[in-house]
Amino acid sequence: MRCLRAFPVILAFLAILCPVGACLAADQVEVVVEGIADDALENVRAALALPHGLVRDGKVDRLWLDRFADQADEKIKAALEPYGYYNAQDTITVEEPEKGDFRVRVVVQPGNQVRIEELQVSLHGPGATAEQLRDLVAAFPLEKGGILLQQEYEQAKKALKSTAVSLGYLDADFPAHEIRINKGASSARVQLVLDTGTRYSFDGIRIEGAPDYPDDYLRRNLAFRSGDIFSYAKLGETQLNFSNSEHFKKVIITPEKQKAEGFKVPVLVQLTPAPRWSLRPGIGYGTDTGARLSLRYRDLNMFHLGHEFYSNLFIAENLQGLATGYVWPDSKDIKSSTTLQLNLQRDDVTTYVSRLIAVELDRNRSLRHGDLGTAYIKLQQEDFTIGAQNSGTRLVLPGLRLNGDHYDNLIRPTHGYHYGFDLRGTHSFLGSDTELLQLVSDGSCLFALPWRLSLHTRATAGITLLSDPLKDLPPSLRFFAGGDQSVRGYTYKSIGPRDATGQVVGGKHLLTGSVELERALFKNWGVSAFYDAGNAFNSFVKVTMFQGAGIGLHYYTPIGGLNLFLARQIGIANPGYHIHFTVGFEL
């Protein structure tokens, strides 16, 4: 029954792939090939595809069919040569087993495959000593005594030239490239000579189309300098640098080889700037924060220096904040910068109420593999109510951060990993009200599995060495567990040590982990099953891990994802259920 239901769909699919005339021809004319197998057979069948129009008004055009049979010999031999058969013979007959139906029978005698009697692959020119080219010659896929396979020969030949060009030998060519075949002896002699020519270098880089940006700011995006060896890979890297900066909506990079003098190639970079100012609203909802609105303003070219000014307003039921910052780009490294930021934040959750104002100066430094290291110092005043305590604290908080994101896609990744470390501390000597040393680390890994499955693991750990009582530590530096990104099944920041009145007041240490198995559905959907565990605590002597497990439904869009989770508490006397829902879009 399932096959019968699918039959109309199959017919429709065939109608799309196969024109009507060709399908009718296949019904009334059968092509049978005997004597060969495997890839050679498939190639011959493809060469003998029936022409359109062979069947007209339900009848086979016999003259056309005979002409097709007469031309088949040449097509068969051409289809067999890539597999080393240069002495093939064939017999082609047209049969009519039933009136109006025809069969073209092809019997092939492929003969012996041509083998290589002599093989010479050599390098000439200034680049003949290049290691990458010598490795390709050493690994040439054809060998003396082996079968002559044209496709492998052409691929290896193409790889030699493209590698030479990538190394800067733009005039690389083959002064000798021939295959001499002795059909009678079923043997061949192959000679391939690559002359690299002189190596080219970059020279005279011109940048046009962005007069509002300083020249030194633009040139920091170049992945090469005048005098460097010419490289198309470096041109591609430069293209990405300009495009990823968000400052330019169109980038065209042209190596002007026709203007080269002394084997030096000038390069023209043509830019179309993106709008300098932008104002983007956003909407969302999360069970941790409630409904939320955001408004983001950016100026990408403050004072025509390439500096950036931004201001992000965030309004939610449980969290309101304003973050305003000014970014000085590094003069050489496009991923390094200095940022001065002002943060105003009010956090009102079940556990505590906090009002915070902070000024932070960051020095961001690009590291290997796209990772980012940050040295910072934060001046912070925080007033808070937590449990039965009303207090405030002033901190001068220096720290070091290190993080890296290595996912294949930011919207819906299939594999990759993230890690982050934040080491911070303060002392009364710096003017702070309390003394502490704190390390926070987090990491996640995403593994692609068969059958469109993926495994996502994550963990977060925090440890605080505190010389003063915990009550002197503000909520922003205490640890809590529970919520969408922590232990699902529990409300936001509802897990942690409690005071004498039974209210959660947070802890000095934190440990949480999660394992989630997701199955992709259709193009944009997914379902998952997960297990979370974690807790915030003050002592490592006896740690109780709160647990939650459940299922999730996901919908992914180009501008954000929707995630719905149903979680159940595990390991307690009266377990409850909790729904977690997150959605966010930038308009």
Report the candidate in 520, 528, 512, 519 with the shortest Cα–Cα distance to residue 563.
528
Q: Output the 3-class SS for 170-235.
A: CCCEEEEEEEEEECCCCEEEEEEEEECCCCCEEEEEEEECCCCCCHHHHHCCCCCCCCCECCHHHH
Higher local confidence (pLDDT), 232 or 5: 232
What's the CA gap between 283 and 314, in Å, rounded? Answer: 10
Over 90: is that where the pLDDT of 586 sits? no
Q: Averaged over 417-432, what is the pLDDT?
A: 93
Task: Assign domain 115-195 to its CATH architecture.
Answer: Roll (3.10)
- Does residue 133 contact residue 61 with C-beta atoms inside 8 Å? no
Compute the chain's Rg from CA coordinates. 35
pLDDT score recorded for residue 529 = 97
First to last CA, the chain: 47
Instruction: Tell me if 378 sits within 8 A of 359, measured CB to CB.
Output: yes
What pLDDT digit, counting tens, does each position of 105-156 carry? 999 999 999 999 999 999 999 999 999 999 999 999 999 999 999 889 999 9
The percent of residues in the chain predicted with pLDDT above 70, rounded, is 95
Is residue 273 within 8 Å of 212, Cβ to Cβ?
yes
178-208 pLDDT, tens digit per residue, is 999 998 888 999 999 999 999 999 998 999 9
Q: Determine the topology of domain 277-586 in CATH.
A: Porin (2.40.160)
pLDDT: which is higher, 8 or 86: 86
* Residue 460 near residue 477, CB atoms below 8 Å: no
Burial class (CB in 10 A: 0-12, 13-18, 19+), 502: exposed
- For 327, residues 6+ apart whose C-beta sits below 8 A from its C-beta are 307, 308, 309, 310, 337, 338, 339
Our CA angle for 109, 112, 114, nearest 5°, is 130
Is the pLDDT confidence value at 7 over 70?
A: no
Let me know if 534 is exposed, middle or buried by CB neighbors in 10 A (0-12, 13-18, 19+): buried
Q: Return the sign of the alpha-carbon dihedral for residues 296, 300, 302, 303.
A: negative
Q: Is 50 exceeded by the pLDDT of residue 14? A: no
Confidence of residue 24 (pLDDT cuts 50, 70, 90): very low
Report the C-alpha gap between 442 and 446 in whole angstroms.
14
Phi, psi of 510 (to 5 degrees): -145, 145
Average pLDDT over residues 60-79: 89
Tell me which fold the domain 201-273 belongs to: Ubiquitin-like (UB roll) (3.10.20)
Same fold, 2-109 and 277-586: no
- Domain segments of the chain: what residues? 2-109, 115-195, 201-273, 277-586
Looking at domain 2-109, its CATH superfamily turns out to be membrane protein fhac (3.10.20.310)
C-beta separation of 260 from 556 below 8 A: no
- What confidence tens digit (pLDDT) does each residue in 455-485 have? 999 999 999 998 777 778 899 999 999 998 8
- Which residue, 267, 249, 255, 240, is CA-closest to 334? 240
Q: How far apart are CA 255 and CA 86, in angstroms?
A: 44
Cα gap 587→523, rounded to integer Å: 22
Cβ count within 10 A of residue 478: 24
Phi and psi, residue 90, nearest 5° = -145, 155
